Amino acid sequence: MNFCDECGSMMKADDSKWVCDGCGHEELRDETAEAAMTTTQGQEGNTVVDMSDVDESQVGPTVEQKCPECDETRTVRYEMKQIRSADESETRFFTCTECGYKWREDDH
């Protein structure tokens, strides 16, 4: 991937040159520089991870939390993920180790 020196837009490869979609600026391609670039080519597929042989204690951190399904304070596994914009807090995902119920919490 290459970025335009004129306007900063992403350029596209067109035979022996890079062409900017934004302003039309063109640059010659450099094979040596392109060989050092990291690509996503060949990384399109998702792989499934088999967790069936993993001990429950190795799946993630736990905390004492009231399970909405059991309606009692239980040990629950949790993980945090950034699923909204970076200026908002992470979403917490919980799984009850007793009944397997899953829920999430967001800061409002």
Looking at the structure, do residues 63 and 98 belong to the same domain, yes or no? Answer: yes
Would you say residue 71 has pLDDT above 80?
yes
To the question of whether residue 35 is assigned a binding role by annotation, the answer is no
Measure the CA dihedral 36/40/41/42, to 10°: 120
Q: Say how far residue 45 (Cα) sits from the centre of its chain.
A: 14
Lowest mean pLDDT among 54-58, 83-87, 95-99: 54-58
Q: CA 80 → CA 20, 67, 105, distances in Å?
A: 39, 17, 10
User: Is 67 labeled as ligand-binding?
Assistant: yes
**27 marked as binding residue:** no
Say whether 2 counts as a known binding-site residue: no
For tokens 């945090």, the residue is: 80
Range of the domain at 9: 2-35
Which tens digit of pLDDT belongs to each residue from 19-56?
Answer: 998 899 999 998 888 888 777 766 666 667 666 676 66
The answer to whether residue 59 scores a pLDDT higher than 70 is no
- The reply to whether 22 falls in a domain is yes
What's the domain count of the chain? 2
72 domain residue, yes or no: yes
Structure tokens at 29: 């391609």
17 is annotated as contributing to ligand binding: no
Residue 42, in any domain of the structure: no
Q: Determine whether the annotation assigns residue 105 to a binding site.
A: no
| pLDDT on residue 60 | 72
Q: Is residue 51 part of a domain?
A: no
76 vs 20, more confident: 20
Q: What is the mean pLDDT of the chain?
A: 82
Interacting residues of 93 by C-beta distance below 8 A, sequence separation 6+: 78, 79, 80, 81, 102, 103, 104
Average pLDDT of 65-87?
84
Is 60 annotated as contributing to ligand binding? no
78-82 mean pLDDT: 83
Query: Is residue 28 marked as binding?
Result: no
CA 24 and chain centroid, separation: 32
